[in-house]
Structure 1
Amino acid sequence: MPERRARRDLHPGAWWVWAIGLAVAAGRTFDVVLLGLVIGVASLVVVARRPVAPWAMSFRLYLWLGAVVIVIRLLFGVLLGGASTGTVILDLPQVPLPSWADGVRLLGPVTWESLQRSFAVGLQLAALIICVGAANSLANPRRLLKSLPPALYEVGAAVVVALTLFPQLAESIGRVRRARRLRGDTGRSVRALRSVVIPVMEDALERSMRLAASMDARGYGRRGAASRRTRTLSGALLLLGLMGVCVGVYATADLTAPRLLAAPMLAVGFGIAGVGFWLSGRTVGHTRYRPDPWLGWEWFTALCGLAAASAFFVSYDLDAVTLAGLVVAALPALLTPEPTSPYAALRTPAPVRTGEGVAA
C-alpha cells in the first residue's frame, strides 16, 4: 500500500462500492440506533476525506433531503392512521371512507408504536439517501465519467447527469449566494428566494448542456458497431439481470421475504447483467488518457463497505457483529490517504535561483 501521508485521490469506483455496501447495511435493519450509526459513519468519512471542490459540498443537501423524508414519513403515518392497539398519544377523529377503500384508514387514533415504526422506516430511507450523497461527495463525477465501462457509453450521458445533479446544484447554489453577498443582497423574503432559484436552475441547465456537448464530442451516446442480433441479446441480458437485482434488493430489504430471493437472486442478477455488459462492451472501441489506478487503498476502501454489508447479513440487531461492521466501514476516514488539495502548490515554496543553478 502507498504511504499513509501521501495525498492521493482514490478511484471514484472505490467510494461508490463503499457507499453501496453501507447502503445495503442500512437496508437490512430498522433499528434506530444502527441507522443513526450508519448515518454517522457516512458523515464521518465525508468530513474526513471530502476533497476541496465545489461539487463535494453537496452532502449538506442530502442531509436536508433525508430530514425531509423522515418528516414526510411521519406525516403519512399520522394521516393514514396508526395501529389499532397501543399507547394512544393523539386521538384524532377518523374520516369515513367508501366501501371500495376498505382497509385504508384516514386519521384516527395515533399510537406511540405507529410513530416509532414510521420514524424507523423514514430513517432507513434517509440513511439510503445519505449513503448515495456520501458517494457523490467523495467521488469526482468527471473522473467517474472517465471510468465508466464501455457498455455504458451509449447511456453514459444519462448516467452521469443523474449522478451529478445534486453536486451541480450545490455548486450553483454556492456560486449564486456568493454573488448575492458581493452585491450586498442579504434578503430572505419570498422575492429573494425567487432571485436565487431562477439563477441556480439556469446555471445548472447551462452546465448540463456543456457537459452533454463535451460528452458528445468524446463519442458518448453513439451506437456501437454491433449487429442487431448482438444488440438484442445484450439488451435482453441486461434487462433480465437488472430485474433479478431489483428482486434481490427488495427481498434483502424485506426481512419477511424468502431468503432464496435475497442473496442468491442478487448473485444471479449481477451475473446475468455482467454477461450483458461484457457483450455490449465488446463492440465499443475506446481509449483512456491517464486512467485512474486501482491500487491497495482502493481495495481496502471497497472491502470496508462490503464488510459492513456482510455484517448486517449475519445479524441486523444491535450486537457485536453489526457494531464491528460499522467500525470497519469507518476505517477509510482514518487510514486512507487524504485527497489532494488544489492549494498544495501555493503552499510549496518556489525554488530560489542562484548563479550556480537552482537551490531548494
Structure 2
Amino acid sequence: MGAGGTPPARASAPTPRQQHPAQLHPGAWWLWSLSLGTAATRTTNPLLLTLLITTSAYVVATRRPHTPTARSYSAFLKLALAVLLVRLLFALALGSPIPGTHVIVTLPEVPLPHWAQGIRLGGRVTAEGLLFALYDGLKLATLLICVGAANALASPARLLKALPGALYEMGVAVVVALTFAPNLIADVQRLRAARRLRGRPDSGIRGLVQVGLPVLEGALERSVALAAAMDARGYGRTAAVPAHVRRTTTALTLGGLLGVCAGTYGLLTAAGGTYGLPLLLAGLAAALAGLRLGGRRSLRTRYRPDTWNVRACLVAGSGIAVAVLLTVAATTDPTALHPTTVPLVAPTLPLWPAAAVLLGLLPAFIAPTPVSAPAPAPEEPS
C-alpha cells in the first residue's frame, strides 16, 4: 500500500512500438557494408583504406545492436590483421615480383630444383616489395572488416526474411554459412568466460584444446536443431503452379541472367558501350520478373517484416555513393588511388575521394539508436 492507504499506481503496459523498437532494414546495412567493401577494392592507397576502416568502425561502435552476434566484429578485426601479417610473411619468405633497389635485409636463400624456377625461398627483401605486399594485404583486410561490419550491424537471419520467395532455399544456405562464424565466436567467448570463473586455463594450447570439443559439440547440436526446425516448418514445400507459369519463370530467369552477363561484358569493353547498358537493364527487368513469378511456389509467411523506409534508403545510398565515387576516382586519377612503389614514394591523401569516403559516416547520425534490454523495475514495499 502507498502512503495514505492508496494502492500504488501500476505502470502502464508498454505499447507494441515500445516492446519492439524500430530497426533499420537489414538489407540497408548489408548494402552499405558491401558498398564500402567494393570501394576498398578500387584503391590500394593505405590512407584511403585506413579511412574506410575508421568509417566502418565508427558506425559499428555507435549503431551496433546489443546481440551476441554483434560481438563478432572484433573477431573479424583479428582475422583481417592475421591476413595482413600472413601477406607480409609471404613477401618476406617467398620474395616479391616487384623489383626494388632499397634492400632491407638479405635472408639465406634455399636452392630449389630446376622445375621450381621462378620461386625462391629467402634472398633479398626490398622495401618496394614489402610496401607492395602491405598495400595488397591492407586492401583484403579492409574488405574483411566491411563484411564483419555487416554481420555486426544486421543479423543474416533478419536478411533472410526480406529475400524473394524464389531465393528462399538458397538464402537459407547462405544464412547458415554466414551465421556460422558469429555463432562459433559467441560459443568460444561463453566457454572461455565459464572456464575463467572456474579457475581453469582459457588460453594457450591446453585451453584451446579443452574449449574446442564443447564448441564442436554445440555446433553439431545447433545443426541438428536447425534441421528439425526446418523440417517442422515444412521447409522445401512448394505450391502447385501451372506448367506454363513454370516454363515462363525459367525462361525469364535464365534469359535475364544471360542478359545481365552480356550487358556487363558490353559495359566493360570499348566496343560494346552502345548495347551494354540497354541489354543490362533488360536482363535485370527479366530476371526480376522471373523471381517475382517464382515466388508463387514458396509457401511461407513473414512475421513482423522489416520495412524499407527513408532511413534505409539514405543508409544504403551513402554506401553506394562511396563505391561509385571511388570507382570514378580510380578512373580519372589512378595515380592517387594506386600509389606506386617503384619508384618508392610516400602516398598522399586525395581530397575529394577522402571526402567521398566520409559520406559513409551518414548512418552513424540517421540510423536508429540500438536499445538495450530494460532493467527490471524495483518492487515497491507493501
Using structure 1 for the length normalisation, give the TM-score: 0.81
Aligned equivalent of 2:313: 299
For residues 102 and 183 of structure 1, the distance between their equivalents in structure 2, rounded to whole angstroms, comes to 55
Relative to structure 1, the CA distance from residue 241 to residue 171 in structure 2 (aligned partners, 3 Å threshold; closer, same or farther) is farther
Alignment-mate amino acid for residue 141 of structure 2: A
Greater Cα offset, 82-91 or 109-118? 82-91
Distance in structure 1 (CA, Å) of the matches to 2:300 and 2:166: 11
Q: What's the counterpart of residue 254 of structure 1?
A: none
Q: Which residue of 1 aligns with 2:10?
A: none
Q: Deviations over 1:81-109 (max 9, x none)?
A: 2233331112232634424x444444332
Q: How do 1:148-187 and structure 2 match up within 5 A?
A: 148-187=163-202
- Classify the secondary structure of the residue corresponding to 2:305: coil
Larger Rg: 2
Quick one: which of 49, 52, 67 aligns to 1:38?
52
Match of 2:326 among 305, 312, 319: 312
Unmatched runs of 5 consecutive residues or more in structure 2: 1-19, 331-336, 338-348
From 150, 156, 159, give the equivalent of 1:144.
159
User: What's the offset of the Cα at 1:223?
Assistant: 5.0
* 1:356 match: none
1:125 aligns with 2:156: no
Aligned with residue 368 of structure 2, among 297, 322, 337: 337
- For residue 223 of structure 2, the aligned residue among 184, 208, 211 is 208
Letter in 1 for 2:227: A
Deviation at 1:282, TM superposition (A): 3.9
The correspondence of residues 56-71 of structure 1 with structure 2, limited to 5 A, is: 56-71=70-85
Query: Residue 23 of structure 2 corresponds to which residue in structure 1?
Result: 9
**Structure 1 position 321, deviation (Å):** 2.2
Q: Deviations over 1:70-127 (max 9, x none)?
A: 111112222332233331112232634424x444444332211111111111111111
Match of 2:346 in 1: none
**CA–CA distance in 1 between the matches of 2:264 and 2:138?**
21
Q: What is residue 77 of structure 1 aligned with on the other side?
A: 91
Alignment deviations for residues 144-195 of structure 1 (CA, whole Å, 9 cap, x no partner): 2222221212223211111111211122112212221232223534222111
Relative distance call for 1:181 and 1:201 in structure 2 (3 A) is same
Residues in 1 aligned to 2:372 and 2:93: alpha-carbon distance in whole angstroms: 49
1:288 shift after superposition: 1.6
Q: Which residue of 1 aligns with 2:345?
A: none
- The code of the aligned residue for 1:109 comes to R
Mark the CA change 1:297 to 1:80 in structure 2 (over 3 Å): closer, same or farther.
same
Residue 35 of structure 2 aligns with an amino acid whose one-letter code is: G
Closer, same or farther: CA 242–87 of 1 in aligned 2, 3 Å: farther
Residue 335 (structure 1) shift: 2.8
- Residue 260 of structure 1: how far off its partner (Å): 7.1
Residue type at the aligned position of 1:332: P
Alignment pair present for 1:190 and 2:221:
no
Q: Which amino acid aligns with 1:211?
A: L
Structure 2 counterpart of 1:338, one-letter code: T
Could you say which residue in structure 1 is the equivalent of 2:341? none
Kindly indicate whether the alpha-carbon contact (under 8 Å) linking 1:157 and 1:221 is maintained by their aligned counterparts in 2. no
Q: 1:295, CA displacement in angstroms? A: 1.1
Residue 89 of structure 1 aligns to a residue whose secondary structure is strand
Q: Which runs of 5+ in 1 are unaligned?
A: 1-5, 252-256, 353-360
TM-score scaled by structure 2? 0.77
Q: Which residue pairs with 2:111 in the alignment?
A: 95
Report the Cα distance in structure 2 between the residues aligned to 1:258 and 1:79, rounded to whole angstroms: 41
Q: Distance in 1 between matches of 2:193 and 2:132?
A: 42
Q: CA deviation at 1:142?
A: 2.8
AA aligned to 2:182 is P
1:287 aligns to what SS in structure 2?
Answer: coil
Aligned-partner residue type, residue 92 of structure 2:
V
Structure 1's 189 and 320: CA in aligned 2 closer, same or farther, altered over 3 A?
A: closer
Partner Cα distance (2:218, 2:258) in 1: 38
Residue identity opposite 1:95 in structure 2: P
Asked if structure 1 preserves the Cα contact closer than 8 Å seen for 2:261 and 2:280, the reply is no
Whether the 8 Å CA contact 1:10–1:339 is kept in 2: the answer is no
User: How far does residue 238 in structure 1 lie from its aligned partner after superposition?
Assistant: 7.6
SS in 2 for 1:215: helix
Give the match's secondary structure for 2:105: strand
* Distance change >3 Å, CA 334–CA 244, structure 1 → 2: farther
Q: Is structure 2 residue 352 aligned with structure 1 residue 321?
A: yes
CA RMSD of aligned residues (A): 3.5
